[in-house]
């Protein structure tokens, strides 16, 4: 019986997977050589599970025609991992070592401005608030030096990954990961991208051009450089909101938002179900992640917060991943104790990040007139996010298709296509963390951005403002989260909303 064989194997798989997430957490929160070594040791232990030829032969002998569609997918996924380890295990190990080497180098980079060490959070703040072009350029250059540090390594890593994928019968690693890890059909993704781009491009260009003209007028120049972007002008309500949030505690605000939906984050912390590591320090990864260590029992957030809009969005986003992980039914088989898909969990997280503009969670903190202006910028956010997503996805797709081309020029050309920017080429592309740690993952954000609108519109029709209804948590747990991966992504969207997944709700939201 497949189910008995699967469950027997998954006893060890679950134990090692939990240890793997814990060691990854340790490495990302404190990137010491010792933690990297421990992480690599557990990665090797995980790999050994899939080098068990006895289990492999037993799984190969299973008659897939006797299984349900979902069990067939589970079997396929297991056989893929066995095949990778038994037939290309040394190549996989080399890839993991190269990734960890680059991650260690990037995570350990400490930016400097005029010889003074600064955090990436401080750089972000400078680019949001500093009006002196020379100071802006220094901050931007300090950021890009992190990309310069690993750019050559990343090019070689893309070549290594491609060789691995080509041995598996794929054109390149991007197409390999897209299909094998995310089960995304390349043609379906292309069609979805084309449809969304064609239907939204005029609106996006209108928004981007207006914002660029405002920057040109402010700086008194005819053309913009990379370091000019990111400044919050006085006309941007986010600047006023940030000024107010500086004197607030975004962690408390976020926890209160979730409490009003029925999720008591502080209680979950006390129970040890949620762990928060939220502020920057040396040797810690500079981005934001949720680590689902043990489904339903242990979810952790790494972030680098300050008291501003971006940090509040980030924490709301990552807590969205947490409540999803903790809401998955413990009665499911181990292979189903995860989100329906990466895109669905990102859709929930992004929906939660948006909540500061789609609902009234900042009422009483931000004056009413400023808050309404701030919320009205949500459409600009959506347009900007889609444009940046298309840039990131297209760059990765084209770079894996031809890693011999100049990545600086490719990034620059695509930045012009999608963001209407023509500036000096640099290694900004190498600062995108997903290219290293989650190849071909960004398309999940793109699809999630479409999913979240469809999901949110439905939830609001049922619950009203979800942050004003304490039953929201129960409804989402019962109708989305508890199913885990036992219901596949597009089936879940239709089961929840009554409609097939499409870009329709998103496109309508821009108008």
Domain ranges of the chain: 1-108, 187-246+342-358+368-509
**Integer Cα distance of 200 and 65 in angstroms:** 43
Alpha carbon distance, N-terminus to C-terminus of the chain: 53
Report pLDDT for 471. Answer: 98
Q: Which tokens hold the place of 11?
A: 């006893």
Inter-CA distances, 13 with 19, 37, 38, 43, 46, Å: 10, 21, 18, 12, 7
Q: ∠ CA 61-65-66 to the nearest 5 degrees?
A: 85
pLDDT digits (tens, 9 = 90+) for 59-89: 999 999 999 999 999 999 999 999 988 988 7
Across the strands, what pairs with 116?
Answer: 113
Is residue 449 within 8 Å of residue 350, measured between CB atoms? Answer: yes
Report pLDDT for 270. Answer: 97
HEC-encoded secondary structure of 58-118: HHHCCCHHHCCHHHHHHHHHHHHHHHHHHHHHHHHHHHHHHHHHHHHHHHHCCCEECCEEC
**Integer Cα distance of 394 and 391 in angstroms:** 5
Q: ∠ CA 73-171-74 to the nearest 5 degrees?
A: 10
**Integer Cα distance of 328 and 336 in angstroms:** 9
Which CATH number does the domain 187-246+342-358+368-509 belong to among 3.30.70.1880, 1.10.1060.10, 1.10.1370.10, 3.30.70.600? 1.10.1370.10
Which residue pairs from 276-279 have beta carbons closer than 8 angstroms and sit at least 24 positions apart in sequence?
A: 276/251, 276/300, 276/301, 276/303, 277/29, 277/301, 277/302, 277/303, 278/251, 278/303, 278/304, 278/305, 278/315, 279/303, 279/304, 279/305
Report pLDDT for 343. Answer: 95
Pairing of strands 289-294, 274-277: unpaired
HEC-encoded secondary structure of 468-492: HCCCHHHHHHHHCHHHHHHCCHHHH
64: left (phi over 0), alpha (psi -120 to 50) or beta: alpha
Contacts of 41 (CB under 8 A, 6+ apart): 23
Query: What length does the chain have?
Result: 511
Model's pTM, two decimal places? 0.86
69-108 and 2-29 are packed helices; what angle lies between their axes, rounded to 10 degrees?
10
Q: In 10 A of CB 257, how many CB atoms? A: 23
Q: Which tokens hold the place of 345?
A: 């969990």
Low-confidence ranges of the chain (pLDDT < 70): none
Report pLDDT for 121. Answer: 80
Q: What is the CA radius of gyration of the chain?
A: 23
Pairing of strands 289-294, 116-117: unpaired
Selection from 229, 271, 139 nearest residue 415 by Cα: 229
**Integer Cα distance of 241 and 433 in angstroms:** 28
**Integer Cα distance of 255 and 266 in angstroms:** 7
| Residue carrying the six token digits 């930016």 | 111
Helix (H, G, I), strand (E, B) or coil at 298: strand
**Integer Cα distance of 313 and 362 in angstroms:** 12
Look at the alpha carbons of 375, 377, 379, 382 in this order and tell me if their dihedral is positive or negative: negative
Contacts of 229 (CB under 8 A, 6+ apart): 127, 215, 421
**Integer Cα distance of 459 and 465 in angstroms:** 8
494: left (phi over 0), alpha (psi -120 to 50) or beta: alpha
Q: ∠ CA 257-260-266 to the nearest 5 degrees?
A: 70
User: Is residue 130 classed exposed, middle or buried when 0-12, 13-18 and 19+ CB atoms within 10 A define those classes?
Assistant: middle
Which phi and psi angles does 302 have, rounded to 5°?
-105, 125
Selection from 95, 94, 99, 91 nearest residue 167 by Cα: 91
Half-sphere exposure of 461 (CA within 13 A, CB side): 9
């Amino acid at each position: 019986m497949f189910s008995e064989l699967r469950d027997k194997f998954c006893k060890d798989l679950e134990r090692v997977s939990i240890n793997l997430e814990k060691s990854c957490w340790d490495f990302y929160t404190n990137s010491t050589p010792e933690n990297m070594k421990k992480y690599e040791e557990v990665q090797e232990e995980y790999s050994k599970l899939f080098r068990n030829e006895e289990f492999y032969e037993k799984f190969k002998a299973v008659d897939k025609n006797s299984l349900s569609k979902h069990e067939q997918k589970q079997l396929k996924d297991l056989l893929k991992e066995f095949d990778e380890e038994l037939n290309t295990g040394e190549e996989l190990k080399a890839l993991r070592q190269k990734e960890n080497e680059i991650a260690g180098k990037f995570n350990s980079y400490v930016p400097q401005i005029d010889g003074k060490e600064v955090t990436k959070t401080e750089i972000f703040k400078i680019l949001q608030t500093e009006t002196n072009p020379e100071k802006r350029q220094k901050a931007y250059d300090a950021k890009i030096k992190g990309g310069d540090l690993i750019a050559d390594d990343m090019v070689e890593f893309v070549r290594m990954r491609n060789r691995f994928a080509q041995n598996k019968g794929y054109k390149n690693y991007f197409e390999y990961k897209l299909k094998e890890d995310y089960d995304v059909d390349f043609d379906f993704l292309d069609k979805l991208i084309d449809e969304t781009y064609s239907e939204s491009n005029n609106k996006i260009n209108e928004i981007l051009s207006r914002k660029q003209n405002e920057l040109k007028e402010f700086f008194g120049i005819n053309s913009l450089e990379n370091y000019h972007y990111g400044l919050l002008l006085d006309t941007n309500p986010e600047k006023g909101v940030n000024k107010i949030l500086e004197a607030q505690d975004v962690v408390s605000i976020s926890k209160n938002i979730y409490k009003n939906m029925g999720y008591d984050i502080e209680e979950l912390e006390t129970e040890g179900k949620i762990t928060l590591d939220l502020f920057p320090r040396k040797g810690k990864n500079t981005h934001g992640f949720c680590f689902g260590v043990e489904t339903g029992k242990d979810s952790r957030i790494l972030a680098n917060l300050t008291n501003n809009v971006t940090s509040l969005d980030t924490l709301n986003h990552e807590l969205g991943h947490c409540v999803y992980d903790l809401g998955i039914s413990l009665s499911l088989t181990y292979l189903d104790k995860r989100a329906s898909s990466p895109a669905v969990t990102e859709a929930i997280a992004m929906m939660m990040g948006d909540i500061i503009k789609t609902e009234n969670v900042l009422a009483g903190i931000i004056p009413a007139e400023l808050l309404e202006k701030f919320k009205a910028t949500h459409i600009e956010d959506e347009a900007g996010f889609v444009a940046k997503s298309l840039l990131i996805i297209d760059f990765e797709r084209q770079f894996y298709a031809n890693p011999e081309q100049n990545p600086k020029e490719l990034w620059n050309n695509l930045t012009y296509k999608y963001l209407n920017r023509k500036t000096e080429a640099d290694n900004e592309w190498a600062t995108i963390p997903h290219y290293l740690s989650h190849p071909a993952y960004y398309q999940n954000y793109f699809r999630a951005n479409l999913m979240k609108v469809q999901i949110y519109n439905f939830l609001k029709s049922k619950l009203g403002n979800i942050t004003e209804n304490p039953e929201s948590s129960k409804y989402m747990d019962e109708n989305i989260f508890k199913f885990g991966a036992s219901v596949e992504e597009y089936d879940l969207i239709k089961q929840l909303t009554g409609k097939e997944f499409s870009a329709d709700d998103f496109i309508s939201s821009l108008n």
